[in-house]
Amino acid sequence: MKTSLAGIIALALASAMVTPTSASAQETLTIASWGGAYQKAQRDAWFDIVEKELGIKIKEDTTAGIADVRAQVASGSPTWDIVQQGNYSCAILDKEGKTEKLDPAVLAIEGIPANMKGEGWIGNIVYAAAIAWNDEKYPDKKPQTWADMWDTKTFPGGRTMRRSPVYTLESALLADGVPMDKLYPLDADRAFKKLEEIKGDVTAWWASGAQSAQLLKDGEVDMATIWNGRAEALTQEGAPISLTLNQQMILTDCWVVPKGAKNKDLAMKALAIMSRPDMQARIALYINYGPANTDAYKTGVIKPEVAAKLPSAPENSAKGFVLDANYWADNLDEMTKRFDLFIQE
């Protein structure tokens, strides 16, 4: 039996009525982050709203670091559309050509400083490496600068510092009198010379945030280079630990879209939403991290008492400097080899 042209058109229209007209209703975006309480905060602050605004489903996964992204890209078929990394890891991936270049509209969003983004990455949260100490050990005068970390006469006791040239070289130069705005490019010879002065007082070189906090909590050290969130958690637990954001090293985690991501265009739309000031402000409602978008502090979402503890708040950011992600993307391997030899000598 032959079907008339009119019949064919009718069948096509009927088919269209039962097929969703919007592909986005069926689209899924896969985002990988650090897991745990932080990723739950991202879900509450950002992912749920992105799903509603774009009419999509966000599937979550976790990453352990830069090697995961390299492996995804090397496979030729990444399963992740967006992944979180530390800022210099983002810069390294960008330089290696393992990221999709971000939509100019994403990079043009106001409020995110130029040193917190690159062609293939954009900052999403801010935290800090800073100085914390045991108040019972120092009941009167308190450490306030990296020079105090080196002053073992005024502030005796064991120290812990990161087992990495990152943060450690910066702190040495600051202790030696280099102004924050003159740090980069780092004078490595000067930094290692300064580190020699305190090497014998470093009880442990920590390899994780959890280790740095445990050393302070257990009293194995009296002063530490530590992430502000770790110190704040100890304080909330009732430990006699205090922290200063003076000379803080402002750090940012960031988003990248792995090279070859299947849903690149959708990923760009999600990044544009999550980078807005109103969305950025929401992260501080769920976890003790600051927004990368400084305009978030103008939204009224972040209460003053909360902002007072966040490294990216205007009054606090003025006390520190942003870690130079591009410097470390270029120099990490060389400096890591030199640092490893230094602590083994």
Q: For 273-289, give the DSSP string.
A: HHTSHHHHHHGGGTSS-
- Omega prior to 291 cis, within 30 of 0: no
Quick one: average pLDDT of 217-229? 96
How far apart, in Å, are the Cα atoms of 87 and each of 103, 155, 233?
Answer: 19, 32, 23
pLDDT of residue 26: 60
- Give yes or no for residue 335 having a pLDDT over 70: yes
pLDDT of residue 345: 87
- Give yes or no for residue 245 having a pLDDT over 50: yes
Task: Please name every residue paired with 99 in a beta bridge, in sequence order, or none if there are none.
Answer: 258
> Contact 242/133 with Cβ under 8 angstroms?
yes
202: its two tokens: 């470093």
- Give yes or no for residue 12 having a pLDDT over 90: no
pLDDT of residue 243: 97
Task: Please name every residue paired with 62 in a beta bridge, in sequence order, or none if there are none.
Answer: 33
**C-alpha Rg value of the chain to the nearest Å:** 24
Report the alpha-carbon distance of residue 247 to residue 249 in Å, rounded.
Answer: 7
List, in sequence order, every beta strand (DSSP E) within the chain. 28-33, 57-62, 82-86, 117-118, 121-134, 159-162, 202-206, 223-227, 241-256, 290-291, 321-322
Residue type, 168: T
Quick one: average pLDDT of 55-65? 97
pLDDT of residue 29: 98
Specify the long-range contacts of residues 275-284, CB closer than 8 Å, at least 24 apart. 275/106, 275/109, 275/112, 275/122, 275/124, 276/109, 277/110, 277/111, 279/45, 279/46, 279/49, 280/111, 280/124, 282/44, 282/45, 282/46, 282/49, 283/41, 283/42, 283/45, 283/46, 283/124, 283/125, 284/310
pLDDT of residue 303: 96
How far apart, in Å, are the Cα atoms of 180 and each of 130, 196, 248, 339?
Answer: 14, 21, 10, 22
- Give yes or no for residue 9 having a pLDDT over 70: no
Domains of the chain: 20-126+252-322 (3.40.190.10), 127-249+325-344 (3.40.190.10)
pLDDT of residue 133: 98
> Contact 60/38 with Cβ under 8 angstroms?
no
- Give yes or no for residue 10 having a pLDDT over 90: no
pLDDT tier, 342 (very low <50, low <70, confident <90, very high otherwise): very high
Report the alpha-carbon distance of residue 285 to residue 278 in Å, rounded.
Answer: 12
More confident site: 317 or 17: 317
- Give yes or no for residue 2 having a pLDDT over 80: no
pLDDT of residue 20: 39
Share of the chain above pLDDT 90, in %: 92
Report the alpha-carbon distance of residue 332 to residue 89 in Å, rounded.
Answer: 10
- Give yes or no for residue 189 having a pLDDT over 70: yes
- How large is the greatest C-alpha to C-alpha distance in the chain, in angstroms? 100
Share of the chain above pLDDT 70, in %: 92
pLDDT of residue 185: 98
Quick one: average pLDDT of 288-294? 96
User: pLDDT (tens digit, 9 = 90+) per residue, 28-53?
Assistant: 999 999 999 999 999 999 999 999 99
Quick one: average pLDDT of 255-271? 98
Length of the chain: 345
